[in-house]
Each structure stands twice: as structure tokens, then as C-alpha cells.
Structure 1
Amino acid sequence: MPEFVLVSTLVIALFISIVQLTLVLHVRNTMLDAAANGARYGTLADRTTGDGISRTRELLQGSLGSGFQANVSAQETSIGGQPAVRIRVSTDFPLLGFFSTGGELEVSGEAVRYE
């Protein structure tokens, strides 16, 4: 009986760690995809960086839920001499489900504006 308790405790801890790592990677990859998509959207001929920010927020809320809080910012930059848009997304590090316990997760996406 004591062996079962010790082994099952380790197996449960390992399982919870894997689930948590999967959640963090999912949030990071979703943020990265939304930032890149928002940057591409903001570089279209009839769009602005504000449209890119709105698109990024829309994608994040659609993928991670309306309760997900993230800071989204945009800036005009250049890549290889071409004008570009960079969208940065940052949020608290999701630990223990979507509850944050500290730290910050930040990603950015860039796209060139062709004229």
C-alpha cells in the first residue's frame, strides 16, 4: 500500500506537469500566430497598424476566450529597408491553469508592407 501511494503521487505530479507545459506552449503558439497574422493584416494596402492590433485581439479572444488578458502593441519598423509592422503581444505567464503566478510571456510578429 505505501508503494502505491508513493508511485501514484509521482505519476500524478508528472501528469499535471505535462498538462501545464502543454497549456503554456498552446498559449505561446496561439499568441505568436495571432501576432504574425495581425502584422500581416496591418500591412495590407487599405489597413493601418490599429487594424492589425484589432485583428490580433480578435484572434486571441476567439482562440483563448474572452477572459484572456493580453497587452497588444504595434509599431512601424523596417525590415531589409522595406517598411514593416511589428505587433507585440505580452501577458502574464499562465501557471496553474490560466491563473498567473508571476512572470511574463512576450512574443512578436512582423510583416513587410509592400508598396
Structure 2
Amino acid sequence: MPQRRAMPQRRAMPPARPMIAHSAGSPCPRATAEASDTGTINGRSNGQRGSAVAEFVMVSALLIAVFIGVLQLALALHVRNTLMDAAASGARYGTLADRGPTDGVQRTRELISGALNGGFAGDVQAQSVEIGGRPGLVITVRAKIPLIGMIQGFGEFVVHGESVRYG
């Protein structure tokens, strides 16, 4: 008579988790049961609850600081470029046939005051020079670097504008 193989024994099913009655607004029974069995809720341990809020605040603060830094750099470059353009325009104006260095300085101050805060036009100087054997004019503007907005702060920009008198 052929021998019969023994059938593998089935494992016993684990006992069902207890169902906890809940009212509206309380956590669902499954999450409550998981929390009581393993100490976690949805994969996070109880010690990490609320950490997403703290991480959001830290990352947001860092991003805001970077954004403000880039914005401040853009403002400082705008001021520098405006000062350079005003110095060059003032030098060209001062080398016209019926104008002189003081006219160039005055024109530079007007341009700076019109485009920026008037405080940036405080130190404007003119110097008559010779450029390539021809008479010319160099306008020099010194202004503080804006620290916060248009408030003048640390360091300073020194820009020059040159022009040659023709005719």
C-alpha cells in the first residue's frame, strides 16, 4: 500500500486587532490600533510628530534669506550701473563746445538725483585730462553701497566716466 504524504499544517491566524469605538473627529480605529501596537502612526514614530512643520520653517527661512540676498545684490548692481551711466553722461555733457567741467558735474548730480536717492550724488568730482593727445574730462562719483533698500551702508562705489572734447 502506498504511503500517503503528510499534509503541511496551516499556521494559525493571528488574533484580530480589537476594534475601538470612536466618535466623529477622533482618529480612525485602525490608526489607533496601529499606534497602540507599534508606537507609530502612518510610518512616523511618536517622537517625529510635528517635525514636518519645523522642517518647513527652517527651509523657508533659508530660502527667504537667499531670496533677500539676491534681491539686495540686484539693487547694488542697479545703483552701480546707474552711477556709471550718470558719470559717463556728465562727462560727455561737460565736453560739449559751450560747456565745462562744472557743467558736467552738475549734469551728473541731476541724473543721479533723478534716478536714485539724492544722497548718492554727494561726492561728484571733475578733472580735466588729456586723452590720446586731445583735451578730455573725467567725472568721478563716490557713493556708499546700499545696505538695506536704498539706505546707504558699508563700503563704497567709485565709478569714472570719461569723454574727449572734439571740435
Shift of 1:94: 1.1
Report the secondary structure of 1:101's partner residue: strand
Structure that is richer in strand per residue = 1
Instruction: State how far apart, in whole Å, the 2-side matches of 1:60 and 1:77 are.
Output: 23
Q: In the TM superposition, what whole-angstrom CA distance separates every residue of 1:45-84 from its partner, at most 9, and x where no partner exists?
A: 0000000000000000110133544310000001111110
Structure 1 residue corresponding to 2:69, chosen from 1, 17, 20: 17
Shift of 1:25: 0.4
The 8 Å contact of residues 125 and 141 in structure 2, kept in 1 or not, is answered as yes
Q: 1:107 to 1:68 in 2, by over 3 A?
A: closer
The 8 Å contact of residues 94 and 100 in structure 2, kept in 1 or not, is answered as yes
Please report the RMSD computed on the Cα atoms of aligned residues, expressed in angstroms: 1.2
User: Which protein shows a greater Rg?
Assistant: 2
Instruction: State how far apart, in whole Å, the 2-side matches of 1:81 and 1:61 are.
Output: 33
Identity value in percent:
56
Structure that is richer in helix per residue = 1
> What's the TM-score once normalised by structure 1's chain length?
0.94
2:118 matched to 1:66? Answer: yes
Shift of 1:2: 1.0
| 1:73-84 equivalences in 2 (<5 Å) | 73-84=125-136
Aligned to 1:93: 145
Structure 2 residue corresponding to 1:8, chosen from 60, 69, 72: 60
Higher RCO (CA-CA < 8 Å; seq separation 6+): 1
Structure 1 residue corresponding to 2:108, chosen from 56, 72, 85: 56
Q: Give structure 1 regions of 4+ aligned residues with deviation exceeding 4 angstroms.
A: none
Instruction: Report how many aligned residue pairs link the two structures.
Output: 115
> What's the TM-score once normalised by structure 2's chain length?
0.66
The 8 Å contact of residues 109 and 121 in structure 2, kept in 1 or not, is answered as no
Aligned to 2:49: none
Aligned to 1:109: 161
Q: In the TM superposition, what whole-angstrom CA distance separates every residue of 1:76-102 from its partner, at most 9, and x where no partner exists?
A: 001111110000001111112222332
2:85 matched to 1:33? Answer: yes
